């Protein structure tokens, strides 16, 4: 899962970045409203963490423009200690959740995961697909009940696929959601990782549709 952080305060931005990366996300950061808006407009993020007090273009406007342009990714608003006006304006502009500073870092992780989950239509934090289980919070994966040890990247790939079971996911789509913006699109490391994943969870679970992408085999339907 790939997220965008829009936060002007460098210390907090960095802290958030570390948090989310250690939480298993691919992360891009923007330090003002304009950059933030542009990134969110052009890159396919699974969620955004958006501060309201921003230079150049304030958070509410950023959000408003995104929504106007038809972007539907979930947005988690950060705002200074409960200022009602901000909060309301945020929701009106299309925020999905908000946190007032100061907040527990952990809280951000949980809320983000919940947002992403809901946005892809899953109620439970634990995704299931055939014999596969994936807990988005603890980051654990099980196959037929036995735990499977995955690396960070393997986990991201599997998580994205499990958020869209049965759907054909193109290589580029997968790369865009698993890597951050600096990644070289000509690399074949994704294929290598897919291979390793297959070895761990059984080759038949991830099906290759030649010329189109990959599909996670669902519980025989669809």
Residues that bind its own copies (CB under 8 A): 21-24, 41-42, 44, 69-70, 81, 100, 102-104, 135, 138-140, 151-152, 166-168, 170, 209-213, 222
How far is Cα 40 from Cα 48, in angstroms, rounded to an integer?
Answer: 8
> Do 162 and 139 contact (CB within 8 A), yes or no?
no
Token pair recorded at residue 202: 């059984």
> Do 29 and 36 contact (CB within 8 A), yes or no?
no
Return the number of the residue (49 or 55) whose C-beta is nearest its own copies: 49
Angle at which helices 171-178 and 152-163 cross, to 10°:
120
Return the number of the residue (23 or 90) whose C-beta is nearest DNA: 23
Instruction: Examine residue 66 and tell whether it contacts DNA (CB under 7 A).
Output: no
Of 64, 60, 65, 51, the C-alpha closest to 90 is: 60
Return the number of the residue (31 or 155) whose C-beta is nearest DNA: 155
Token pair recorded at residue 187: 């690399």
Minimal distance, residue 60 CB to its own copies, in Å: 19
Which residues are CB-contacts of 198 (< 8 A; sequence separation ≥ 6)?
Answer: 205, 206
Instruction: Examine residue 211 and tell whether it contacts DNA (CB under 7 A).
Output: yes
* Binding characters for DNA, 156-175, by CB under 7 A (x = yes): ---------------x----
Return the number of the residue (68 or 106) whose C-beta is nearest DNA: 106
Interface residues with DNA (CB under 7 A) are: 151-154, 171, 179, 183-184, 187-189, 191-195, 198, 203, 208, 210-213
């Amino acid at each position: 899962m790939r997220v965008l952080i829009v936060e002007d305060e460098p210390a907090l931005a960095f802290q958030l970045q570390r948090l989310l990366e250690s939480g298993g996300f691919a992360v891009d950061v923007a330090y003002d409203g304009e950059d933030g808006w542009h990134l969110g407009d052009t890159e396919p993020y699974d969620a955004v963490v958006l501060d309201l007090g921003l230079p150049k273009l304030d958070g509410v406007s950023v959000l408003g423009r995104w929504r106007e342009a038809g972007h539907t990714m979930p947005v988690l608003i950060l705002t200074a200690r409960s200022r009602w006006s901000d909060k309301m304006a945020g929701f009106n502009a299309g925020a999905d959740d908000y946190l007032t500073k100061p907040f527990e870092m952990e809280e951000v992780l949980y809320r983000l995961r919940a947002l992403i989950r809901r946005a892809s239509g899953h109620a439970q934090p634990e995704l299931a697909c055939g014999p596969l289980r994936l807990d988005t919070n603890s980051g654990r994966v099980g196959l037929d009940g036995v735990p499977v040890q995955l690396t960070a990247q393997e986990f991201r790939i599997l998580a994205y696929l499990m958020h869209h079971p049965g759907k054909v996911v193109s290589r580029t789509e997968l790369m865009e959601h698993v890597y951050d913006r600096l990644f070289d699109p000509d690399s074949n490391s994704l294929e290598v990782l897919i291979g390793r994943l297959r070895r761990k969870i059984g080759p038949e679970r991830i099906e290759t549709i030649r010329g189109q992408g990959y599909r996670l085999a669902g519980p025989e339907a669809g």
